[in-house]
Structure 1
Amino acid sequence: MSSNHIKYRNLGGNSGVDTYKIEEESIEITFKGGSTYLYTYQAPGRYHVEQMKLLARSGRGLNAFINIYVKDNYAKKLR
């Protein structure tokens, strides 16, 4: 787990999300396979990033939200 990453609570029990890191205008998400993506206000946009932050903090629905609304619209693949 990278520095400042928080373990996703996965209250639904079947999420592909492992950890996340929230910044002012972005969220970085590491999936269980080890891939890490950066989502910013530029891509996929402020609305989606803010929704992802809420879902990350709540521990439920983040993976589904990404799969339905965001898909491959990320700013950068970090690893």
Structure 2
Amino acid sequence: MPALHELRMTPYRNRSGSSGVAAYALLDDGIVVRFSDGAIYRYGHTHPGRHHVGKMKSLAMAGQGLGAYIRRYVRDKYESREH
């Protein structure tokens, strides 16, 4: 797998206008999220788990609620991080 910063990312639509999420990449076994501060996190089936990853993918594609969901339910349960 390429480094997280090398992945092709989809711009996050940020429908609320207040999200810290800038972009995301959907993976077979997870999701990668780039925040507006440049930090990139990989969330997967191991951490935080399939349930959370599925919800995060849905929110990412909808363009709303992803940042809030991460803050509320996931926090520091990520598989890897780049900054």
Shorter-chain TM band: over 0.9
TM-score for both structures, normalised by structure 2? 0.91
Q: Are residue 39 (structure 1) and residue 43 (structure 2) matched?
A: yes
Q: Distance in 1 between matches of 2:12 and 2:37?
A: 14
Match of 1:51 in 2: 55
Q: Distance in 2 between matches of 1:12 and 1:32?
A: 15
TM-score for both structures, normalised by structure 1? 0.95
Unaligned runs of 5+ in 1: none
What code does the residue aligned with 2:41 have?
A: Y
Match of 1:10 in 2: 14
- Identity, % of aligned positions: 39
Q: Are residue 27 (structure 1) and residue 31 (structure 2) matched?
A: yes
Q: How big is the alpha-carbon RMSD for the aligned residues of Structure 1 and Structure 2?
A: 1.2
Q: Distance in 2 between matches of 1:7 and 1:18?
A: 6
Runs (4 or more) in structure 1 with deviation over 2 Å come to: none
Q: Distance in 1 between matches of 2:7 and 2:44?
A: 19
Unaligned runs of 5+ in 2: none
Question: How many residues matched?
Answer: 79
